[in-house]
């Protein structure tokens, strides 16, 4: 690793799981995404997920559906995780999940385990969304997909195993957290709550932690720049659909939980967004997980203790909003 990990460990509190993960990662001989191109980056992302995300069993049904879309004749693929525990609930909660990956990499496959954990432990029906990726589909294609899926889920709760009384939530990590935040603005009448895991709230990446952790260990500025080159043009960076913190109004937003990684480039943006919601009178909670980097949330095979902490906070919040 070109990143000076020893200096990093001596400067910050770094959780032992983080240290162990990067030691293991150094043996993988993986090149940065910006050095290998989109297709290889996607393969690397999937391989990392398969190696480090672990696996859990879900007592229930897993099924694939396609949400019809005006933007794509083939529709939007979605995997539903329907735990058996929801069968006895009159109105099980439905959670629409958007995976991370800089709008360019990641997929339903990279986030299977975390979706199953949320479904199993809440319990709730989780819809794992395969939104369109850049550079094939640039901004705002994935925003359109997110809104399309949320609107369809709201109108078809009984089709996916819920009822018309079911609460509808959104969740996502990183770029998926941004999509969840944006759609919470655009479809606030339909959404009962949101779980934002280290969301990217500004495509300008203007907050101090971007500089503080700009060399790594996880989401470096070079990686961010590469993602943005794939996804969006300069003229769109200040659009509120890209940089959700630039919205003028926040008071109508649903109850929101923001989960923050302590050693993350996106950390201070999360803090700033929390303050925006708090000042607007939104019911908002924040959970900072100490000593972990960006992307830990979905790598529970490596981050067992810290993922348990983060997932537990999300599950508790979902349960509270489902009551």
Query: What separation in angstroms does the CA of 15 have from each of 45, 133, 211, 307, 309?
Result: 23, 32, 21, 12, 13
3 state SS of 59: coil
Other residues' Cβ atoms within 10 Å of the Cβ of residue 155: 11
How many whole angstroms separate alpha carbon 91 and alpha carbon 247? 33
Between strands 284-293 and 256-263, the pairing is parallel
Which residue out of 174, 180, 184, 298 is catalytically annotated?
A: 174
Residues 119 and 126 sit within 8 Å (Cβ to Cβ): yes
174 flagged as catalytic? yes
Helix residue ranges, H only, the chain: 5-11, 16-26, 33-36, 38-52, 112-121, 141-155, 175-186, 208-212, 221-231, 267-279, 304-322
238 flagged as catalytic? no
Which residue out of 99, 111, 207, 294 is catalytically annotated?
A: 294
Query: What separation in angstroms does the CA of 291 have from each of 8, 73, 147, 199?
Result: 11, 44, 34, 18
294 flagged as catalytic? yes
How many whole angstroms separate alpha carbon 253 and alpha carbon 196? 13
Residue 309's contacts (CB-CB under 8 Å, 6 or more residues apart) are: 289
Enzyme catalytic residues: 174, 264, 294
């Amino acid at each position: 690793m070109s990143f000076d990990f020893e200096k990093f460990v001596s400067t910050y509190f770094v959780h032992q799981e983080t240290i162990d993960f990067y030691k293991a990662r150094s043996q993988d001989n993986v090149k940065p995404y910006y050095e290998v191109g989109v297709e290889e980056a996607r393969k690397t992302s999937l391989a990392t997920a398969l190696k480090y995300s672990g696996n859990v069993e879900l007592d229930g049904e897993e099924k694939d559906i396609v949400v019809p879309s005006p933007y794509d004749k083939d529709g939007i693929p979605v995997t539903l995780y329907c735990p058996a525990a929801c069968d006895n609930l009159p109105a099980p909660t439905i959670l629409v999940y958007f995976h991370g990956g800089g709008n360019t990499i990641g997929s339903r496959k990279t986030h299977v385990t975390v979706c199953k954990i949320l479904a199993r432990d809440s319990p709730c029906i989780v819809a794992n969304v395969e939104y369109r990726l850049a550079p094939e589909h640039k901004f705002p294609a994935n925003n359109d997909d997110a809104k399309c899926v949320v609107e369809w889920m709201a109108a078809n709760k009984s089709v996916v195993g819920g009822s018309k009384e079911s609460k509808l939530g959104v969740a996502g990590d990183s770029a998926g957290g941004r999509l969840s935040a944006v759609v919470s603005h655009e479809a606030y009448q339909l959404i009962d709550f949101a779980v934002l895991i280290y969301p990217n709230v500004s495509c300008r990446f203007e907050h101090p932690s971007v500089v503080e952790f700009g060399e790594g260990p996880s989401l470096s500025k070079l990686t961010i720049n590469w993602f943005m080159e794939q996804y969006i043009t300069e003229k769109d960076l200040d659009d509120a659909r890209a940089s959700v913190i630039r919205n003028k109004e926040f008071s109508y937003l649903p109850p929101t939980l923001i989960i923050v990684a302590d050693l993350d480039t996106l950390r201070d943006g999360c803090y700033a967004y929390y303050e925006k919601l708090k000042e607007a009178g939104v019911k908002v909670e924040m959970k900072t997980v100490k000593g972990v980097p960006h992307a830990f949330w979905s790598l529970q095979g490596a981050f067992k203790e810290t993922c348990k902490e983060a997932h537990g906070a999300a599950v508790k919040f979902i349960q509270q909003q489902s009551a």
